[in-house]
Amino acid sequence: MSLEIITSDALDGIQHGFFTRKGGASSGVFGGLNCGLGSTDQADIVKINRTRAAGALGLTYGDLCAAHQVHSADVARVTGPQDGPAPKCDALVTDQPGLALVILTADCQPVLFADPKAGVIGAAHAGWKGAIGGVLEATIEEMEALGAHREDITAIIGPTISQRAYEVGPEFLEDFLADTPDNARFFANGEGDRYQFDLPAYGLHRLRQAGVGNAEWTRHCTYSDPERFYSYRRSVHRKEADYGRLISLIRL
């Protein structure tokens, strides 16, 4: 089975892709293109999957630059091929051609950024913690430090969990209202004391408030399409032992 890669016309001219789970070598609950070295999948199989993803962008495994994602607002600048452990952060930026920035997700938002005029790209892992903590704005600021201009930046949110699948409790809502009462707009009433949170709408709001030139969501829900996407929340509901991680890549 060949790889399936979701791209955005808004990033035309910049090689990128939000990869689905199709076309990989993993099996079982990981069936497909599991690219999570932190999963309990076989490491050599995960490396095969990552190599296939890199090859789709004309690169090798060694050209992949990843983060040790920790749900933070920290950003690392990539200046060359990674040598040693991945930095603990949730976003990466670079102005170096021939390197791919890697983001792994399984419901959280993968966000790919590019300022083609300046030749600067970025990639962020933005779950609710990272998004409310400012990881998207921090990525934009670090891109600016490399010469980008926020009005020239396009930011695309890839497959993520949609509002209809994202049930949260009252404490979750309270955290967002404490940040600003305006965040109430991203919540809908659910059953009992539960709410439905619109993570991609919140991400788009933060990006647009930050002043990027263009911000879009591909409108794919990870939870609702098990044939194409891994989902942490779905794996919990199904009582599965583990779950795969989707890979998103961007390169100059």
The pTM of this model reads 0.97
For the segment 37-50, what is each residue's pLDDT rounded down to a tens digit?
999 999 999 999 99
Please give the average per-residue pLDDT across 59-76, as a whole number: 98
Amino acid code (one letter) for 217: W
Is residue 20 a contact partner of residue 4, using CB atoms and an 8 Å limit?
yes
Q: Angle at CA 229, nearest 5°, toward 227 and 232?
A: 120
Q: pLDDT tens, 112-136?
A: 999 999 999 999 999 999 999 999 9
Summarised one tens digit per residue, pLDDT across range 156-209 is 999 999 999 999 999 999 999 999 999 999 999 999 999 999 999 999 999 999
pLDDT of residue 195: 98
Kindly state which CATH superfamily the domain 5-162+198-251 is placed in. Answer: CNF1/YfiH-like putative cysteine hydrolases (3.60.140.10)
**CA separation for the pair 166, 133 (Å, rounded):** 19
Give the start-to-end residue ranges of the domains of the chain: 5-162+198-251
At 174 the pLDDT is 97
pLDDT mean across residues, the chain: 97
Structural tokens at position 177: 């209202």
Instruction: Report CA 236 to chain centroid distance, whole Å.
Output: 20
1, pLDDT greater than 90: no
Q: How far apart are CA 123 and CA 100, in angstroms?
A: 10
Give the model confidence (pLDDT) of 200-232 as tens digits. Answer: 999 999 999 999 999 999 999 999 999 999 999
pLDDT band at 16 (very low <50, low <70, confident <90, very high): very high
